Chain A
Amino acid sequence: MMEQPEVAVEVSGVGKVFKLPLEKRTSIKELFVHFFRRAKGYELQQALQDITFDVRKGEFLGIVGRNGSGKSTLLKIIAGIYQPTKGSVKVNGKLVPFIELGVGFNPELTGRENVYLNGALLGFSEKEIAAKYSEIVEFAELDQFMDQKLKNYSSGMQVRLAFSMAIRADADILLIDEVLAVGDAAFQRKCFEYFRNLKRDKKTVIFISHDMNAIREYCDRTIMIEDSRITAEGETYRVAMEYTKLFTEDKNKTVGSKIDHETEKRWGDGAIRYIKTIAKPKKLKDEKTLEIIAQAQAYENVETPIFGFSVKNSAGEYLLGTNTKIKGVKTKNVKPGDRINIHWTIPNIFADGKYYVNPAVERADGITECDWVEEAEEFSVFKEERTPYNITPDIKVVVD
């Protein structure tokens, strides 16, 4: 009886509980003490709960989620490496047994020997590998190195060889876990080319990655796993956005957006100190500008102080900034008790992500810092129009 031939992988109600020993029994004494009650020495860890989804034939499915969310466990259950505690997985078609690149590579064997060993893991006989051998070596660009031991390869060479092997896999369903995490730009280009070929050949692919650009570009549909459950499923674009939000919201909780007065993130002689720094709006969509409104209080007499700010992204790169001196704006002398309001207007050229505002004020000499507050305020950007670049200014295009 044929059953729904269009479904390649059917995951229904899968749950996984890991039994983790509470403490490792390393000494003989502990062994004896625990021998009679060893059944209790476990902690149960719920790795996956109630995971249900289908993958249609020819579909490119993305799985996203934070580290430790359970996505790799799920992939291993689909591959049949782990047994689900609950539920079941049905696979229609030949599944590639690989989860990661270069599995089974032995550093003591030569490149050539490793090709045959790795090929066997992929299900290729010696004859079949021999037929593909020159192709594999050529693709990996390792002609002169095949009779050297793998331990003498650079990590880049190993990855190239592993990848060159992995793409020979003759399967209907492929499970790919974080291949993009390794390798340089040239390798990633090859990866993307391979993904495009997979899509063209209508292979079924389940792809785990933290790289949202790759997920957005290749996945027809995406699932997000958070705390061992599916928390979002469907259109890649939407799920990828949910995923990005996960991180920005998380930081809000931990970093906080008030000015912290006594940390190493703040320094200066204290003659003038910022009281507040506010970004308006805190969440930008397609607004034209971002306002930064800061208020500072003077505690000493300072002649023509210079007010400035900078903005850095979540990777810690300083993207832009300026000050009143650069701008040629005259400031008044201040005396104790004065409050100064500074209002910046910045065009919204930001790409999607999370940003921090660092206000600063210094004396007229341009050297003595009165107050510098790192990450005094933060804001985030979600734009309709998205590019993988650092900035996304409003670009006009005309095609004739």
Chain B
Amino acid sequence: MKNFKSRYRYSAILLKQLVKSDFKLRYQGSVLGYAWSLLRPLLLFVILYVVFVKIFPLGKGIPHYPVYLLLGIVMWNFFLEMTTRSTTAIVDRGELIRKVKIPRWVIIVSSSLAAVINLILNLVVVVAFLFINHVDLLSTILWLPLILAQAYIFSLGLSLILSSAYVKYRDVSYIWEVILQAGFYMTPILYPLSRITNVTFQKLIMVNPLAQTIQDARYSMITHKTVTAAQVYNGGWLKLVPYVLSILILVIGLLYFKRESRFFAENI
């Protein structure tokens, strides 16, 4: 028991320092520094507003479409950042892993927390725009932490799988890049789900836990006119599929990572 406690303590200390140094290194050499964490989503919002509200008004009929769009992009970017950073995280920390016996999961969690910090900063911007756009405060916003937790669980599961596989096969990062490209268009980020008239396509799209969490987040925060998984599957048992899938991916990730991590040091 004492051993467990001291191991946990070591992991916690390490995690804190890794996250800190990551954060310090992130905007090094840039004049504006940490301000970029807020500037990036702001500028992104300007672009989205010009393109999808003024030029291609895709979101007709959706109230507060610009913020709706921004939230989707912010969540997608979180997913993208976390999985791509984590993919190479183990190999990037190769020197450490080959020379010190540190709990390997700390590395993945630290790179995931970097993405979480960014997500929180981005959400601050989203909330600011909620007020600017005079979006009514919905009581369902209380669900948001749970929805984000689910997105984190799903991303973490994938991160664990990707990072372990990357140690053995460097092709993983290229394959993942392609999958992300496809995923971006197969997730209702730029277009509202209601624009897809084929019900089967709608159902297939919503199997993806990321599509489901993005829609749920929009529903809880911005407008109840968002189409959620529950609606797509007509309230049937199938609506649980994306939730179960998130947990399943995490469990697979944990098991795979645990098995592979014993050999990280020699395989890197």
A interface residue numbers (CB < 8 A to B): 18, 31, 76, 79-83, 95, 97-100, 103-104, 106, 108-109, 113, 116-117, 119-121, 123-126
A104 to B22, alpha carbons, bound, how many Å? 12
A18 to B267, alpha carbons, bound, how many Å? 9
Interface residue tally for chain B (C-beta within 8 Å): 25
Cβ B99 vs Cβ A99 within 8 A = yes
Cβ B100 vs Cβ A121 within 8 A = yes
- Nearest opposing residue in chain B for A124, CB measure: B13
Chain B positions 81 through 118: 1 when the CB is less than 8 Å from some CB of chain A, otherwise 0: 00000000000000111111110000000000000000
Given A82-B266, A97-B101: A104 and B96 within 8 A (CB)?
yes
Given A79-B101, A98-B99: A109 and B21 within 8 A (CB)?
yes
A106 to chain B: which residues have CB within 8 Å?
Answer: 21, 25
A83 to B24, alpha carbons, bound, how many Å? 34
Given A109-B24, A113-B24: A81 and B14 within 8 A (CB)?
no
Q: Is the interface of A mostly helix, strand, loop or mixed?
A: loop
Q: Is the interface of B mostly helix, strand, loop or mixed?
A: helix
A120 to B11, alpha carbons, bound, how many Å? 9
Given A108-B28, A120-B13, A123-B13: A99 and B100 within 8 A (CB)?
yes
Q: A81-B265, A103-B99 are in contact. List 7 more A-B contacts (CB 8 A).
A: A95-B101, A97-B100, A116-B17, A120-B16, A120-B17, A121-B102, A123-B13
Cβ A109 vs Cβ B14 within 8 A = no
Report, nearest first, the 10 A-B pairs whose CB atoms are least far apart.
A120-B17, A80-B101, A103-B99, A81-B265, A97-B101, A97-B100, A99-B99, A120-B13, A120-B14, A117-B17
B20 to chain A: which residues have CB within 8 Å?
Answer: 116-117
Least distance between A60 CB and chain B CB atoms (Å): 22
Cβ B16 vs Cβ A76 within 8 A = no
- Nearest opposing residue in chain B for A20, CB measure: B266
11 contacts between A and B (CB under 8 A): A81-B97, A95-B101, A97-B101, A97-B102, A99-B99, A104-B95, A113-B24, A117-B21, A120-B17, A120-B18, A125-B13
B interface residue numbers (CB < 8 A to A): 9-10, 13-14, 16-18, 20-21, 24-25, 28, 95-102, 171, 262-263, 265-266
B25 to chain A: which residues have CB within 8 Å?
Answer: 106, 108-109
A104 to B98, alpha carbons, bound, how many Å? 11
- Nearest opposing residue in chain B for A16, CB measure: B266
A109 to B20, alpha carbons, bound, how many Å? 11
B99 to chain A: which residues have CB within 8 Å?
Answer: 81, 98-100, 103
A80 to chain B: which residues have CB within 8 Å?
Answer: 101
- Nearest opposing residue in chain B for A18, CB measure: B266
A153 to B112, alpha carbons, bound, how many Å? 31
- Nearest opposing residue in chain B for A76, CB measure: B265
A121 to chain B: which residues have CB within 8 Å?
Answer: 14, 17, 96, 100, 102
- Nearest opposing residue in chain B for A79, CB measure: B101
Least distance between A75 CB and chain B CB atoms (Å): 10
Least distance between B266 CB and chain A CB atoms (Å): 6
